[in-house]
Amino acid sequence: MLDFSEHPHRRLNLLTGEWVLVSPHRAKRPWQGKTEEAAIAQRPSYDPHCYLCPGNTRAGGEQNPAYEGTYVFTNDFAALKPDGPTDRVEDGLLRAGGEPGICRVLCFSPDHSLTLPDMTVDAIEQVVKLWRSEYRELGSKDFINHVQIFENKGAIMGCSNPHPHGQIWAQYSVPEEVGRKSARQKKYWQECGRSLLSDYLKQELESGERIVCANDTFVALVPFWAVWPYEAMIIPRRHITDIDQFTREEQRGFAEILKDLTQRFDRVFDTSFPYSSGIHQRPTDGNDHPWWHTHMAFYPPLLRSATVKKFMVGYELFANPQRDITAEMAASTLRRLG
């Protein structure tokens, strides 16, 4: 009999159709291996050299207002431009196409010293409100068919500025990852008449093995198919296709569980836990996409200490992802740190 805690096995990602190899016998406990004390960086509430702090001049030459809450602006060095063509080019086997879009930077707080888990629930709720309004505004544009909200936290994730902020890339086409999730959710909806994540969440709640924390409106868990050591996902209990459908209670609940989960991350290795996080929700191409169930994923890279990072190398680059720490083990660790 297959024992998830003992035997090498593969797990299917329900949302993408991809597989991950799990090798639990290689690391029975997430605390094995080298551990180090991380240097605790003390940052000021205001940094005169930070291009995101209130009143400062940005790298592109524009001056920030003296904002006191959240603040959003169009990225001065955007990867996408709104006035680009959408022409498709075919040259033998080569294919290409223009990709217009809009890139925005969202400052979560005027306080340079904070990160999301350090902020109050009230302040995080203002971030959620900003995400909702930006999704609504950008998604209403004719040439925008997908709105990707994300945050890179920590220098190890390539974040060039420690000021609390995230980004939005809104674009003409639907990206590959979102396309795969759309197809899998649509297929399940057509076959079962229910949301794939609703049924998955029901099964996870019955098991409890991979649940990290929960409130009346949201559940945070380590997905069965997790690739990153302490990967997590936040799923609304109610089947909703995008964050603009949040009720007032859900907006507050989302802010509460964001703080709860990210604080647990910080306690794993007693450090400001780096991660990439992103919200996936229905495309904004004018269709309803009733099969979509919005969710937020967190991909933290830390493996066994505040400085030991998991890299995707070797087999993972040439075959498929692999992990030693099981999803159940990671969830158990995060639950204890509440």
Q: Which residues are catalytic?
A: 165
Q: Which residues of 125-138 are buried (b: 16+ CB within 10 A; e: fewer)?
A: bbbbbbbbebbeeb
Q: Which helix (H) or strand (E) holds 337?
A: none
**Cα–Cα distance, 170 to 80 (Å, whole number):** 8
**Cα–Cα distance, 35 to 113 (Å, whole number):** 26
Q: Which residues contact 171 (CB under 8 A, 6 or more apart)?
A: 80, 99, 100, 101, 102, 144, 145, 146, 148
> Where are the extended beta strands (E) located within 38-93?
71-74, 88-91
Say whether 115 sits in a helix, a strand or coil: coil
CB of 213 closer than 8 Å to CB of 220: yes
Say whether 63 sits in a helix, a strand or coil: strand
